[in-house]
Chains A and B, each alone.
Chain A
Amino acid sequence: MPPSSTIEGSPNAASAQERAVENGFVAREAWAFEAAYQAFKSALFGAAVSVLGDREDAEDAVHDVLARLWQRGHAYTAARGSLRAFLIACVRNEALSRRRKSGNRLRIEQTVRPQTIEPADESLADRDRIARALQLLGEKQREAIRLSYEEGLSYAEIAQRLNEPAGTIKSRLSNAVRTLRAHFAAQGETL
């Protein structure tokens, strides 16, 4: 059943609502999938369009992920953390898979449509927030994260590209992600 409307307006309404949606999602309730989509659709679409650079392709990627999760089951559990982060990871993987198949390795700056080039104020704020976080990384960490996050390369492919040992790249990527995690956690960001 959907969460009771009585939790709305309470001090913990947002988190209580989120927990209810997460529990419903685990139980594969239709209302929870619908609620999760409504709550996270902009983030999911943003994740897809940043990889694919095309709005129609990005919407197809989001649609296909939702359809598969709904029809075939999913790996999400409460231990995994936020449902939002899990869904974004699924959409990113789908988008990267599509880009690999199409051979489209163009950077997002080269492929976004005109209407997305001029970001809204909120988007500019996001850009600043992300840039500040990435500045915490060393130059080599930023490059490794860029190759993985933006180009979708595996650690072995990055090692080959940079002509460095695979173990070094694994550690570099892992440390970079943990640095970002510590930063965002300290910022208390609720996205």
Chain B
Amino acid sequence: MNDTRNAHLEEEAELYALGALPHVERTVAEAHIAQCEPCARRVGDAEEALASLVRPQPPSSQLDRRAHAIFARRGSGVRAFYPLVAAVLLVALLPGAFFWQRDRDLRASDALNRQAAAAMIGSHFLHAQFVKAAADAPPAKAIFAHNGAWIYVIAVTDRDLTLSAGGLVLGRLSGTGSERAIFVEHPPASKSLVLSDGSRVLARAAVAVP
């Protein structure tokens, strides 16, 4: 999936249902699902399969009372997810809409993720995997605009990493938990990205803009 408006989800559909997509990819998939019926069906099929792995257990009567009390109150009326909601609207509503992601351990970098998600939803983008230059290099991926307007790099690590391009330091990856990321607008012309830990080059990626 490299264009949220036209390309369908592939393996991301099953990974979305599993909850196995990293935060930003999940957000982009969510926006696509909201406007694409075939992909919503594919996600639904995957969710159905995973629901079949659940062993039902009766809850206590106390939960019955608490649930009843919820529905006795009128909802606040935010109907954000009706069919065919525009992706741009979803981005505007991200803080409240993606509630089940809200409290994840990436919350500290939510602003960064929203910025990246907004950029992705609004443009064509491509992917590039980082290739390890050191044995302890973490898995990392670059997502970049088709027109070269921005680069987003995400790494699965809890270490402090720096992103460079053509010898120019673009910044340090930030985040909490097991993911670190950086979003760079108007990156330099050099498309040879380097991830380092301050003293050693850990991984490289070639960002090829058509």
Contact = CB atoms under 8 A, between A and B. Distances in A.
Interface of A: 26, 28, 30, 33-34, 37, 41-47, 49-50, 55, 58-59, 62-63, 65-68, 70-77, 79-82, 84-86, 88-90, 92-94, 96-98, 100-101, 116, 119, 122-123, 126-127, 130, 133, 145, 148-149, 152-160, 165-167, 170-171, 173-174, 177-178, 180-181, 184, 189, 191
A101 B48 contact: no
Contact of A63 (B30, B33, B67): B67
Contacts of B60: 55, 59
A119 B55 CA distance: 10
Nearest to B48: A85
Contacts of B138: 160
B50 A79 contact: no
B64 A41 contact: yes
Interface of B: 10-15, 17-22, 30, 33-34, 37, 40-41, 43-60, 62-64, 66-68, 70-73, 75-76, 78-83, 96-97, 99-101, 103-105, 129, 138-139, 141, 156, 177-179
B48 A81 contact: yes
B38 to A, nearest CB: 8
29 contacts: A43-B51, A43-B54, A45-B57, A46-B57, A50-B54, A59-B60, A68-B99, A73-B75, A73-B78, A75-B34, A82-B51, A88-B50, A92-B19, A96-B19, A101-B103, A101-B105, A122-B56, A130-B52, A149-B18, A149-B50, A155-B15, A156-B139, A171-B11, A173-B14, A174-B13, A177-B46, A181-B45, A181-B49, A191-B51
A128 to B, nearest CB: 11
Contacts of B58: 41-42, 45
Contacts, number: 231
B55 A34 contact: no
A187 to B, nearest CB: 9
B51 A173 contact: no
A22 to B, nearest CB: 12
Contacts of B129: 165-167
A86 B63 contact: no
